[in-house]
Amino acid sequence: MASGNGSNLQAILDASAEGSLTDRARVVAVVSDRSDSRALARATEAGIASLHVGAEPDQDRTEYDRRLAEIVAGFEPDLVVLAGWMRILTTEFISRFADKIINLHPAKPGELAGTRAIERAWQEALAGERTETGVMVHRVPDEGVDTGPVLASETIPIELDDTLDVLTERIRRVEHRLLVDTIRALCAQPKEITA
Ligand code: GRF
């Protein structure tokens, strides 16, 4: 699930196409809440089902999440990857995919939750308040924003002469690797057999 550019989605698609993701997994669908998300075009280019699920006027978050969950459930996913999904999910959605949702956030665990995390880290570094930031992949057990059990994290230095673009690029490279590595590790675990 992705809202924006989809570079992390692309990392997953590339790893999958190269055979370096795992032979136990394939991307079954890409869903975006935004019709202009580049992620949808990337999915189409890769020959993967891509769906725009837009919020209708006056639709509340619970109603939207119910509709979203129905659509996602139709693909019977074993893993739901939030790769730049910019809407906060409600319990309505999360409870349908217990233990299956993971999220990527461009900050260290417990830091800079919410939007513009890279920019905020960079501004804090400019102000002399930090010298590093990070990336994490975590499970999404509830409505908490950028919280939840951490599956992987990595610290990333902020250099004195970094522009925001340079720092963003450094973070993206780590995100792409960490997300693919985490998915691979999760797929290596035995699948729970449900009755
Ligand atoms: C990433 O920084 C991710 O951590 C955050 O949104 C961004 C998505 O980037 N949640 P992209 O669309 O995958 O390029």
CA distances to 28, 57, 89, 116, 177 from 74, rounded to whole Å, are 10, 24, 18, 32, 29
The number of beta carbons lying within 10 Å of the beta carbon of residue 164 is 13
Asked whether the beta carbons of 104 and 135 are under 8 A apart, the reply is yes
pLDDT reported for residue 85: 98
| Ligand 1 atom 9 nearest Cα | 84
CA angle at 137 for the pair 180 and 51, rounded to the nearest 5°: 65
Give the distance (Å) from ligand 1 centre to CA of residue 162.
19
CA of 120 to the centre of ligand 1 (A): 15
pTM over 0.85: yes
**C-beta neighbour count of 132 within 10 angstroms:** 12
Nearest atom of ligand 1 to the alpha carbon of 8 = 13
What's the pLDDT score for residue 193?
A: 55
Work out the pLDDT band at 195, boundaries 50, 70, 90.
very low
In the predicted model, is pLDDT for residue 194 greater than 80?
no
What digits encode the pLDDT tens for the residues 36-80? 999 999 999 999 999 999 998 888 999 999 999 999 999 999 999
Residue whose CA is at the smallest distance from ligand 1 atom 1: 84
Instruction: Give me the helix-helix angle, 117-126 and 164-188, nearest 10°.
Output: 130
Residue nearest to atom 2 of ligand 1 (CA): 106
| pLDDT tens readout for residues 149-185 | 999 999 999 999 999 999 999 999 999 999 999 999 9
pLDDT value for 33: 98
CB of 133 sitting under 6 A from ligand 1: no
pLDDT higher than threshold 60 for residue 81:
yes
Active site residue: 52, 105, 138, 176, which one? Answer: 105
**CA 122 to chain centroid:** 21
The span from the CA of 138 to the CA of 109, in Å, is: 9
Annotation says 105 is catalytic: yes
The one-character DSSP state at 146 is T
Q: Check if the beta carbon of residue 136 is closer than 8 Å to that of residue 109.
A: yes
Pocket flag, ligand 1, residue 148 (CB < 6 Å): no
pLDDT digits (tens, 9 = 90+) for 94-139: 999 989 999 999 999 999 999 999 999 999 999 999 999 999 999 9
**Is 7 a pocket residue for ligand 1 (Cβ < 6 Å)?**
yes
At residue 166, φ and ψ (nearest 5 deg) are: -65, -45
